[in-house]
């Protein structure tokens, strides 16, 4: 018998910001007026929790990647988590949407965690496609090695497609942007919220059907937008992975945490 569905709180925690991106650097298809128009990215991890369990979605990146990639950290991911009382050192479950450096670069900060990952993503990051520098680019080999070590240490839980991790918390295989990319669907007081991570970097990707520039399978990316729409209770229940608008639409946990920790389980205020 299935366990009774539980209600969860959901938070977006911002740890980095890249103000140097322009529109042509974010989209596959050219735009007539898009050249040199700024389109910054925020970098988040997400927390899903209730009185029973806490899930962290993605691990962010650290100081080495920040320097190498030219994306300054606003705070470390453990610092961001601590603002809402989550101790990275004791977290038991981390859902890793995919293995790009900005999502999988903080594995060492979660010594007690089991990492939930798609089979297809590990196969992609350790297989023949990585013979090509252009495909390697969003990955860091040391992050992938860290996952292999976690695997041999018994700390990886593999999933092949969709799965329920707790009553009201499900993962959904999307692919597209990366071969084994997944999103997370959460039951909240306002219904089903989808933490899209990089299944939709920006609202524009999903609302206007504009593919993001880093793409493994364009068809899967486009179909993924439809899947996410079906999973979420409304377009306002979809939370993109890098859009600075998220912090404008959703309320901060407190005034001191504006720009750092925002609630996603309450309705967004747009416009």
Q: Residue numbers of the site for Zn ion (CB under 5 A)? A: 100, 102, 198
Q: Which is nearer to Zn ion, 121 or 198 (CB)?
A: 198
Least distance CB 142 / Zn ion (angstroms): 17
Separation CA 224–CA 266 (nearest Å): 24
Least distance CB 214 / Zn ion (angstroms): 6
Half-sphere exposure of 130 (CA within 13 A, CB side): 17
Q: Which is nearer to Zn ion, 120 or 166 (CB)?
A: 120
Least distance CB 177 / Zn ion (angstroms): 6
Least distance CB 37 / Zn ion (angstroms): 20
Q: Which is nearer to Zn ion, 21 or 75 (CB)?
A: 21
| Residue whose entry in the numeric block shows the structure tokens 């050249």 | 35
Q: Which residues of 3-30 are buried (b: 16+ CB within 10 A; e: fewer)?
A: eeeeebbbbbbbbbbbeeeebbebbeee
Q: Which is nearer to Zn ion, 102 or 265 (CB)?
A: 102
Separation CA 98–CA 104 (nearest Å): 7
Q: Which is nearer to Zn ion, 43 or 55 (CB)?
A: 43
Q: CB nearest Zn ion: which residue?
A: 100
CA neighbor of 194 nearest in space, from 214, 174, 216, 222: 174
Least distance CB 197 / Zn ion (angstroms): 7
Separation CA 84–CA 143 (nearest Å): 26
Least distance CB 138 / Zn ion (angstroms): 6
Q: Which is nearer to Zn ion, 9 or 198 (CB)?
A: 198
Least distance CB 95 / Zn ion (angstroms): 14
Phi, psi of 231 (to 5 degrees): -75, -35
What is the enclosing helix (H) or strand (E) of 135?
Answer: helix 133-136
Beta-strand pair 114-118/93-95: parallel
Q: Which is nearer to Zn ion, 168 or 201 (CB)?
A: 201
Q: How many CB atoms lie within 10 A of CB 161?
A: 11
Least distance CB 158 / Zn ion (angstroms): 19
Is the CB of residue 72 less than 8 Å from the CB of residue 66? yes
CA 244 to chain centre: 14
Q: Which is nearer to Zn ion, 166 or 174 (CB)?
A: 174
**DSSP letter string, 7-28:** --EEEEEEEEEETT-BGGGTBS
């Amino acid at each position: 018998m299935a366990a009774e569905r539980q209600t969860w709180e959901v938070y977006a925690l911002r740890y980095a910001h890249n103000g140097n991106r322009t529109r042509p650097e974010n989209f596959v298809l050219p735009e007539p007026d898009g050249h040199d128009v700024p389109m910054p990215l925020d970098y988040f991890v997400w927390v899903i929790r209730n009185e029973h369990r806490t899930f962290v979605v993605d691990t962010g990146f650290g100081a080495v990647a920040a320097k190498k990639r030219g994306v300054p950290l606003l705070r470390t991911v453990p610092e961001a988590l601590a603002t809402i009382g989550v101790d990275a050192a004791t977290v038991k479950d981390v859902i890793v949407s995919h293995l790009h450096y900005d999502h999988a670069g903080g594995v060492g900060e979660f010594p007690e965690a089991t990492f939930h990952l798609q089979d297809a993503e590990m196969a992609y990051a350790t297989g023949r496609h990585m013979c090509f520098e252009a495909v390697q680019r969003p990955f860091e080999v040391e992050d992938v090695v860290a996952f292999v070590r976690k695997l041999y240490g018994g700390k990886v839980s593999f999933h092949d497609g969709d799965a329920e991790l707790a009553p009201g918390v499900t993962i959904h295989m999307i692919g597209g942007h990366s071969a084994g990319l997944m999103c997370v669907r959460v039951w909240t007081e306002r219904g089903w919220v989808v933490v899209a991570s990089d299944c939709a970097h920006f609202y524009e990707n999903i609302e206007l059907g504009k593919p993001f520039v880093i793409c493994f399978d364009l068809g899967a990316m486009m179909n993924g937008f439809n899947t996410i729409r079906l999973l979420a209770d409304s377009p306002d229940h979809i939370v993109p992975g890098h859009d600075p608008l998220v912090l404008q639409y959703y309320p901060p946990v407190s005034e001191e945490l504006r720009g750092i920790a925002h609630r996603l389980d309450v309705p967004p205020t747009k416009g």
